[in-house]
Amino acid sequence: MNEAKKTLSKKDLVKSYLIWTFFSHSTYNYERMQASGVLHALAPSLEKLYGKNTEAMKDACKRHMEFFNTEPNLGGCILGMTLAMEEQKANGEEIDPEMISSVKTGLMGPLAGVGDTIWQGTLSPIALGILLGMAQDGNLLAPLLYMVIIGIVLFGEGYWSYMKGYYSGREGITKIISSGLINKVTEKATIVGATVLGGLAASYVTVSSGLVLHLSSGELNLQTDVLDTIFLNILPLAITLLTVWMLKKKLNVNIILIVLILIGVVGTLIGLF
């Protein structure tokens, strides 16, 4: 008699997605990055497909403890796709274990770049740009709204990506990548994110000089009489560009903060700021 086909239910997929969402960075480490989070998310479904304490299950555990690192929300489609391939393999289809590992390795980098751009470079700055003004006015709803907006967006994006990966399979995701859609999304998101960050810098980076030179002909205010006539808000721009330059040099964030604090302290002590 033919063996009954092993199929993952929607409940299995949702459970896997929720574990990945909340534990993708559990025991995050430099040796394997998110590997333990990947196995934790896939383990219940793998047990259903291969059974407990079987050789196939042991091989699957070893396979998914390999190095893995991606943006967890958009990158969740890789795990969905992985479950689809594991399901096919468990049902006797010719799925090479190396193929599963290669798909994960090949997609984690591109999707990490897109996911980070969409999240860190676009969605978060836009939400901050809208709500920072409210927070500065003392509105307690601002941080709550930020958490709600980000939560809805991230859970929505993560759920859609996970399910898309499973139901589309590796062919669907490969088509999306080869179509150039990811590059277009990344480019547009980068432009929007840079524009928003520029607006935030102009609005919230406040630096001015209080230095006043006493001349025989009168007083000369360095800020209003010199700097503002050359370039309005030139000091906030200079501090912002200095920070960007240090980030591009890959300096540690703590070092950057120390440099900025020293500039502020020294500038205040000598009367420049």
Categorize the per-residue pLDDT at 15 as very low, low, confident or very high, splitting at 50, 70 and 90.
very high
Final residue before a domain boundary, out of 176, 197, 218: 197
Categorize the per-residue pLDDT at 171 as very low, low, confident or very high, splitting at 50, 70 and 90.
low
Residue type, 109: G
Provide φ and ψ at 220, rounded to 5°: -120, 110
Mean pLDDT of 193-200: 69
Q: Do 23 and 83 reside in the same domain of the chain? A: yes
Tell me whether residue 203 is in a domain.
no
Q: Do 161 and 247 reside in the same domain of the chain? A: no
- Cα separation, 158 vs 17, in Å, equals 8
**Helix, strand, coil proportions of the chain in percent (round to 5)?**
70, 5, 25
pLDDT score of 190? 66
Give the residue numbers spanning the domain of 135.
10-197
- Cα separation, 122 vs 153, in Å, equals 12
Helix spans in 92-233 (H):
97-118, 124-136, 141-178, 181-204, 228-230
Judged against a pLDDT cut of 90, whether residue 47 lies above it is answered with: yes
Tell me whether residue 115 is in a domain.
yes
Token pair recorded at residue 116: 């980070």
Q: Do 59 and 170 reside in the same domain of the chain? A: yes
Tell me whether residue 4 is in a domain.
no
Q: Do 220 and 121 reside in the same domain of the chain? A: no
255: nearest Cα among 268, 267, 245: 245
Spatial contact of 9 and 83, defined as CB atoms under 8 Å apart: no
User: Which of 116-120, 194-198, 205-209 comes out lowest in average pLDDT?
Assistant: 194-198
Token pair recorded at residue 255: 């070092």
Distance of CA 42 to the CA centre of its chain: 22
Which residues, 6+ apart, have CB-to-CB distance to 128 below 8 Å? 146, 200
Provide φ and ψ at 221, rounded to 5°: -85, 120
pLDDT score of 1? 45
Final residue before a domain boundary, out of 197, 230, 248: 197
Q: Do 52 and 156 reside in the same domain of the chain? A: yes
Mean pLDDT of 160-173: 80
Task: Give Cα separations from 177 to 61, 102, 106 (angstroms).
Answer: 28, 15, 11
Tell me whether residue 158 is in a domain.
yes
Number of domains in the chain: 2
Query: Taking all residues of the chain, what is their mean pLDDT, rounded to a whole number?
Result: 84
Judged against a pLDDT cut of 80, whether residue 64 lies above it is answered with: yes
234: nearest Cα among 210, 209, 257: 209
pLDDT score of 181? 61
Mean pLDDT of 148-155: 89
User: Which of 157-161, 188-192, 241-245, 255-259 comes out lowest in average pLDDT?
Assistant: 188-192
Which percentage of the chain shows pLDDT scores above 90?
A: 33
Judged against a pLDDT cut of 60, whether residue 163 lies above it is answered with: yes
Final residue before a domain boundary, out of 197, 226, 255: 197
Tell me whether residue 58 is in a domain.
yes
